[in-house]
């Protein structure tokens, strides 16, 4: 590949079916991994819970997230392993941040979901007003990457709160997962059958994969009497990590194309 071709490649992966499969697995891992630390290890589901476990868990995850985002921004090209490790870091941090907001701060699932949705929309509006586009194909330089990762982190946090809210309102974890999966399928249909702005549909789908993964993760590791399968959180997390690693390693991973190169 010549230098002029490299210049028009984004530093994020091309949006393919494989991208969405890995993204859903990563968000599910974020839920089981975050819960393994804050609930199982730090005891937030025990009688000794203090409410600080979620904040401590956030502190544990936010450090590698910041380091990975910095490495991603400094990188000169798209690196699949670096990208997906950053996504996983954002989704585990998002799990503990959402639980801290909705449970420890006492604003509940509705309050947390509304607050975080406002944060996601604020990031997207600020990004658009600053750079003129929220298309992921334009993510190729530090400013757009900063907006990209801020939007992702808030969307990962929103997804946990939204998934818990919907599941808690009646359908349970499996029912909520089916609901979010159906909504995601509708977004895909709109993508292929309508002329709705593709960047807007991408971010709608990206946001919806998080509550889908969160409810699937909860279905895997929550107790039987709460509608889950009561799987070991560390075991579920390791299994999901293995599946993601296989999908990143085996199929070819390529960078998305910058619009200027089309």
CA gap 104, 201 in Å, rounded:
33
- Number of neighbours of residue 223 by Cβ within 10 angstroms: 10
Domain ranges of the chain: 3-250
What is the pLDDT, as a whole number, of residue 49? Answer: 67
Provide the pLDDT for residue 101: 85
pTM for this structure?
0.89
Which residues is 79 bridged to in the sheet?
Answer: none
Burial-class residue 21 by CB neighbours within 10 Å (0-12, 13-18, 19+).
middle
Intra-chain end-to-end CA distance of the chain, in Å: 16
The pLDDT value recorded for residue 44 is 75
Q: Going residue by residue through the chain, which has 262 residues, state the pLDDT in tens, using 9 for 90 and above.
A: 443 334 446 788 988 999 999 999 999 999 999 989 988 888 776 666 666 888 899 999 999 999 999 999 999 889 999 999 999 999 999 999 988 888 888 788 898 889 999 999 999 999 999 999 999 888 888 999 999 999 999 999 998 899 989 998 878 999 999 999 999 999 999 999 999 999 999 999 999 999 999 999 999 988 888 888 999 999 999 999 999 999 999 877 788 765 443 3
Query: Which contacts qualify for 110-114: CB closer than 8 Å, 24 or more apart?
Result: 110/165, 112/161, 112/165, 113/158, 113/161, 113/162, 113/165
What pLDDT does 261 receive?
38
Contact yes or no for 222/173 (Cβ under 8 A): yes
Say what the pLDDT of residue 148 is: 95
Give pLDDT, residue 257: 66
């Amino acid at each position: 590949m010549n230098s002029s071709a490299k210049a028009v490649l984004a530093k994020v992966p091309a949006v393919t079916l494989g991208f969405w499969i890995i993204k859903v697995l990563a968000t599910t891992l974020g839920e089981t991994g975050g819960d393994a630390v804050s609930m199982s290890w730090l005891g937030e589901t025990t009688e000794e819970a203090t409410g600080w476990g979620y904040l401590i868990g956030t502190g544990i995850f936010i450090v590698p997230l910041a380091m990975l985002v910095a490495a991603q921004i400094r990188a000169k090209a798209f690196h699949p392993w670096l990208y997906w490790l950053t996504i996983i870091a954002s989704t585990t941090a998002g799990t503990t941040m959402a639980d801290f907001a909705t449970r420890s701060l006492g604003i509940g699932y509705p309050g947390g979901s509304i607050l975080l949705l406002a944060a996601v929309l604020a990031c997207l509006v600020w990004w658009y007003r600053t750079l003129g586009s929220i298309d992921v194909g334009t993510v190729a330089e530090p400013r757009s990457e900063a907006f990209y990762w801020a939007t992702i982190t808030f969307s990962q946090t929103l997804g946990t709160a939204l998934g818990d809210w919907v599941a808690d309102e009646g359908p349970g974890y499996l029912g909520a997962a089916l609901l979010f999966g159906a909504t995601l399928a509708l977004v895909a249909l709109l993508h292929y059958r309508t002329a709705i702005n593709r960047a807007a549909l991408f971010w709608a789908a990206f946001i919806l994969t998080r509550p889908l993964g969160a409810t699937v993760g909860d279905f895997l590791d929550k107790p039987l009497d709460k509608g889950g399968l009561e799987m070991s959180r560390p075991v579920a997390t390791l299994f999901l990590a293995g599946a993601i690693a296989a999908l990143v390693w085996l199929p070819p991973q390529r960078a998305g194309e910058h619009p200027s190169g089309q």
